[in-house]
Amino acid sequence: MDLLLTGKRAVVTGAAGGIGREVAHALAAEGVDLVLTGRTAATLEKTAAAVTERSGRSAHVVVVDVRDDAAVRAMVDRAVEVLGGVDILVNSASNQAVGRHMPRLAETGDDVFWDDVDTKLVGYLRTSRAVAPHLVAQGWGRIINIAGLGARETRSIVRTVRNVGVAALTKNLADELGPHGVNVTAVHPGLTRTPELAEELTARAAAEGRTLAELEDELGANALNRLVDATEVADVVAFLASPRSVAVNGDAVGVGGGTRGVVHY
CATH number of 9-191+230-254, picked from 3.40.50.720, 3.30.450.40, 3.30.390.30, 3.40.190.10: 3.40.50.720
Between CA 106 and CA 4 the distance in angstroms is 49
Show the beta-strand stretches assigned E in 108-249.
141-146, 182-188, 192-193, 228-229
Angle at 133 between CA 127 and CA 135, to 5 degrees: 90
At 97 the pLDDT is 65
> What is the pLDDT, as a whole number, of residue 155?
84
Contact 150, 116 (CB under 8 A): no
CA 52 to CA 28: how far, in whole Å? Answer: 8
Domain boundaries, the chain: 9-191+230-254, 193-226
The pLDDT assigned to 98 comes to: 56
Q: Which of 4, 1, 64, 53 is nearest to 24 (CA)?
A: 53
Residue 103 phi/psi, 5-degree rounding, is: -65, 145
Residues 163 and 98: beta-carbon distance below 8 Å:
no
pTM across the whole model: 0.95
Closest CA to 33 of 54, 8, 14, 13: 8
Helices (H) then strands (E): counts for the chain: 9, 9
196-242: pLDDT as tens digits = 888 888 898 889 999 888 888 888 889 998 899 999 999 999 999 99
Per-residue pLDDT of the chain (265 residues; tens, 9 = 90+): 999 999 999 999 999 999 999 999 999 999 999 999 999 999 999 999 999 999 999 999 999 999 999 999 999 999 999 999 999 999 999 886 654 567 889 988 998 899 999 999 999 999 999 999 999 999 999 999 999 999 998 888 999 999 999 999 999 999 999 999 999 999 999 999 988 888 888 898 889 999 888 888 888 889 998 899 999 999 999 999 999 999 999 999 999 999 999 888 8
Provide the pLDDT for residue 129.
Answer: 98
pLDDT at 87 (0 to 100): 98
Per-residue model confidence as pLDDT tens digits over 45-68: 999 999 999 999 999 999 999 999
User: What confidence score (pLDDT) does residue 100 get?
Assistant: 59
Q: What is the pLDDT of residue 195?
A: 87
